[in-house]
Amino acid sequence: MRKTITVLVVMLCLTALLFAQGKQEASASDAKVLRVAMECGYAPYNWTQTTNANGAVPISGSKEFAYGYDVMMAKLIAERLGYKLEIVKLDWDSLVPAVQSGTVDCVIAGQSITSERKQMVDFTFPYYYASIVCLTNGDSKYASAKGITDLAGGSCTSQLGTIWYDTCLPQVPNAKILPAQESAPAMLVALNSKRVDFICTDMPTAKAAIIAYPTMKILDFAGSNDDFKVSEEEINIGISVSKKNPELTKAINSVLDTLTVDDFNAMMESAIAVQPLSN
């Protein structure tokens, strides 16, 4: 009789254990997924790497991983809100349409909060504030420029679909503006190969660039009377969300509201320090 009872108890314990394990697996599979789109090629905001070093996240449908400031922020938001994070790699021009169509839940990709974009998608509070600078080669005649008028007549380019190209470069007197480049790496290659005299970008991108290209020089005109004229909305970097999903925008804002500018800057410096070309 004791053997029968013992066997019954063991069977009941095993059943309970399997039931609990099944519930945990079901719970894991039912976890909400936050699908975040980015280029995975725009260091230090985001980039692609071959391992999960430093906490990189797998890229959906790929054997590669994504990391950078945007991934750090996406991980923080997903963790705080109880989501499982999925990174979706898309071209720059495909980011906003992907949000509009519902292919992804949001875009965290260094997007400026412009009025034009706000007509298509909603934006969260800024998750970074990016100042505008130029990059030139150290041996360029423009390396000593103190303001945008000193760049007059120079050939230049920047990334397609950015305020750097659409708003800033036209402010340079008699600038020879070449066609926009499809990506940040492409505009850096154009400068490094001296196809252009200078490019326009933001400070984080510039800081990351001079690690890869030490001979380049950052031209920062901030504080002078001869700087680019941009609005606050154009240098505030936000997370774009579908207008049909205000609940998600509100939830993300609840996380961003707990962070400070110092938090943002510290995270960005961490991203710059571990980007692949910095090692």
Q: Evaluate whether residue 9 is within a structural domain.
A: no
Task: Say if residue 38 is in the same domain as residue 119.
Answer: yes
Q: At what angle do helices 69-81 and 261-274 cross, to 10 degrees?
A: 130
Task: Say if residue 119 is in the same domain as residue 157.
Answer: no
Distance of alpha carbon 14 from the chain centroid: 47
Task: Say if residue 125 is in the same domain as residue 242.
Answer: yes
- Counted domains in the chain: 2
Q: Evaluate whether residue 14 is within a structural domain.
A: no
For residue 128 the two structure tokens come to: 């970074």
Task: Say if residue 121 is in the same domain as residue 259.
Answer: yes
Amino acid occupying residue 72: M
- Give the range of the structural domain holding residue 217, as residue numbers without chain letter: 132-221
DSSP state letter for 159: B
Q: Report the distance separating Cα 279 and Cα 81, nearest Å.
A: 33
Domain containing residue 65: CATH number: 3.40.190.10
Task: Say if residue 142 is in the same domain as residue 178.
Answer: yes
Task: Say if residue 38 is in the same domain as residue 154.
Answer: no
Task: Say if residue 47 is in the same domain as residue 111.
Answer: yes
pLDDT in tens, the chain (279 residues): 444 444 444 444 444 444 445 544 444 456 799 999 999 998 899 999 999 999 999 999 999 999 999 999 999 999 999 999 999 999 999 999 999 999 999 999 999 898 889 999 999 999 999 899 999 999 999 999 999 999 999 999 999 989 999 999 999 999 999 999 998 899 999 999 999 999 999 999 999 999 889 999 999 999 999 999 998 878 899 999 999 999 999 999 999 999 999 999 999 999 999 988 654
pTM of the model: 0.78
